[in-house]
Amino acid sequence: MATKNTILPILTLFSMFLPLAISIDFNYPAVFNFGDSNSDTGELTVGLGFFLDPPNGQNYFKTSTGRFCDGRLIIDFLMDEMDLPFLNAYLDSIGLPNFRKGCNFAAAGSTIRPSTPTSVSPFSFGVQVAQFLRFKSRVLELLPKGKKLVKYLPEEDYFEKGLYMFDIGQNDLAGAFYSKSLDQILASIPAILVEFETGIQKLYDQGARNFWIHNTGPLGCLPQNVAKFGTDPSQLDELGCVSQHNQASKLFNLQLHALCRKLQGQFSDANVTYVDIFTIKYNLIANYSRYGFEQPIMACCGFGGPPLNYDSRVSCGQTKILNGTSVTAKGCPDSTEYVSWDGIHYTEAANQYVSSQILTGKYSDPPFSDKMPFLLNLKF
């Protein structure tokens, strides 16, 4: 789409004139990722043993890969720009997964706080950190046993030199709205971030020194939340997003940013980078037509038609009997026109836009524009 292709050279030129920073070096040998569906490359599907129905994966991979998307995620674009392969899910045992350049522990539905019997995912942040500790221990045990394994496993110093990425927290907030008031949710944020800090501290104690932390996006703009909590127009903002959900996102992000600042001072020998995903995504929804999109909130793959094309009873790709009639949540003809893929997750086109904005460096604290040589040669 012309409008999307033209913005990238502009971003490239803009990046040349950003102020220099002394933050981080993006020449990482490996990436270890923790999170939820925003960066899950197959962990939940293999972990729970289910198949994610087409048309998920239809655009780039041409098949379902366990990603809740029509194609690539933000992490896929970032890995590509760092000249690193897409990350394999930690639990994926089929197809000779290669973990030499990193490993992905992110699982859709995961929360920072411990999971409960009703949680979508049992792989909460604490479990993901524990999986990493097991992964590292096993790697260090296997490395001395022969050269055949080396090409599949990270070298020992990769655990110190690697980049640790985090995109988690939205499910702690979004899920809470089904049973708690806004005040209760806001009051719970400090405890959520204590849990997050505990996990970060464990990784630091294991030698992690490069931390890349995404804040949470505008939850109130997800069609799922608009459908459930936005039936009263007075609850919506000027963009048609649920105000209370975005208020919770903003307060969470404010406190997460403060935690990152604290860690920047506390871990004097580490790099802690906070990335403002909320601003990037909200700007996309507010100015969608400027970036070549036609639908800022309506889901591409769903059921029910305008204005949201979202029905919580029928997930993308599924066929269900509703009121005696068989219905299917189908994909739209051109997902590049949509910001939302399935009412909860973003399309590949939207993920591409978000990635291009991340790579300008201006949405990060500290900024990092001078540390990313690939900025001058964006591949997407």
Mean pLDDT for each consecutive 10-residue tract of the chain (380 residues)?
Answer: 40 34 66 98 96 95 96 97 96 92 98 95 98 98 89 96 98 98 98 98 98 98 98 96 98 98 97 98 98 98 97 96 96 97 98 96 84 53
Catalytic residue among 15, 23, 37, 335: 37
What is the tens place of the pLDDT at every residue in 134-186? Answer: 999 999 999 998 788 889 999 999 999 999 999 999 999 999 999 999 999 99
Structure tokens at 2: 């012309």
8 Å CB contact between 105 and 128: yes
239/287 Cα distance (integer angstroms): 10
Percentage helix, strand, coil for the chain under 3-state DSSP, each rounded to 5: 45, 10, 45
Q: Is residue 80 annotated as a catalytic residue, yes or no?
A: no
Give 263-328 as a DSSP string: HHHH-TTSEEEEE-HHHHHHHHHHTGGGGT-SEEEEESSBSS-TTT---TTS-TT-EEEETTEEEE
Sequence letter at residue 220? G
Q: Is residue 356 annotated as a catalytic residue, yes or no?
A: no
Q: Is residue 257 annotated as a catalytic residue, yes or no?
A: no
Within 10 Å of residue 157's Cβ, how many Cβ atoms? Answer: 11
DSSP symbol at 102: E
Catalytic residue among 70, 276, 311, 342: 342
8 Å CB contact between 248 and 329: no
Q: Dihedral sign, CA of 1, 286, 354, 68?
A: negative
236/35 Cα distance (integer angstroms): 28
Catalytic residue among 110, 345, 355, 369: 345
8 Å CB contact between 97 and 88: yes
What is the tens place of the pLDDT at every residue in 232-270? Answer: 999 999 999 999 999 999 999 999 999 999 999 999 999
